[in-house]
Amino acid sequence: MCSAAQAAWRENFLLRGRDVARWFPGHMAKGLKKMKSSLKLVDCIIEVHDARIPLSGRNPLFQETLGLKPHLLVLNKMDLADLTEQQKIMQRLEGEGLKNVIFTNCLKDENVKQIIPMVTELMGSSPRYHRGEVSERPLMFLLDTPGVLAPRIESVETGLKLALCGTVLDHLVGEETMADYLLFTLNRHQRFGYVQHYGLGSACDNIERVLKSVAVKLGKTQKVKVLTGTGDVNVIQPDYPAAARDFLHTFRRGLLGPVMLDLDILRGHPTAETVP
């Protein structure tokens, strides 16, 4: 393992030309088409996005309708996000035409009660669409939609961020690839909570070493047959996929501390590099 104080962390994450087109599930295309047809029935759009990626992966459909409908961006899971740069985030979003933004934590009802008053103020009149009543005073109805990605993810790195937040299915991206990108991000942002959580002793930028230590720590091993000159031999090896899954789930539960995955965008430092 490496020393957190002395290690030279990777400056770029090599993406190796991964194809993000296949990360968009077919059922989302159907949901997106239905959502577009429903927009004419609503008075206000409430867009819910992950607070850990406030600047990445938002559906361009909402950007196209910003000038047509009142729009509120709800950045949920604020408890999992490092909001040290919240003012810069708000400035960037305002520069994109988003003036109505609220950070929430729906599990603890933090700021959630502010949504209806903000929507009421944005609409300025009674809603026309009557389905799914969510408020009596003022009278308000909600048309819910499934979560839908943009049909074209802007970059592989954006796809990896979406995957870390649970928006893209893990197996489409690869759990060990996601774990490596997570490790890269945590080290680059000086977030070493994983060291203490897994009792690693020190931080490291090598995902194979980290996953091996995690697997041993959690007792996640598997028997593998190895062909030798004297025949097959059963060898006990670390279960790297299982260790990667645990690493990802631990991050998503917030046990590695709050993280801002878009920190490099805020600071103007690109981190991804695509190679053939």
**Amino acid sitting at position 95:** G
Q: Is 40 known as a binding-site position?
A: no
Q: Is 90 known as a binding-site position?
A: no
DSSP 6-30: T----SSEE-TT---GGGS-HHHHH
As a whole number of angstroms, the distance between CA 276 and CA 257 comes to: 34
CA Rg, the chain, in Å? 22
Please enumerate in sequence order all residues whose Cβ is within 8 A of that of 253, keeping only pairs 6 or more positions apart, or say none. none
Q: Is 17 known as a binding-site position?
A: no
Q: Is-contact 145 47, C-beta < 8 A?
A: no
Q: Is 30 known as a binding-site position?
A: no
Q: Is 78 known as a binding-site position?
A: yes
Residues annotated within a binding site for GTP: 76-79, 147
Residues comprising the binding site?
76-79, 147
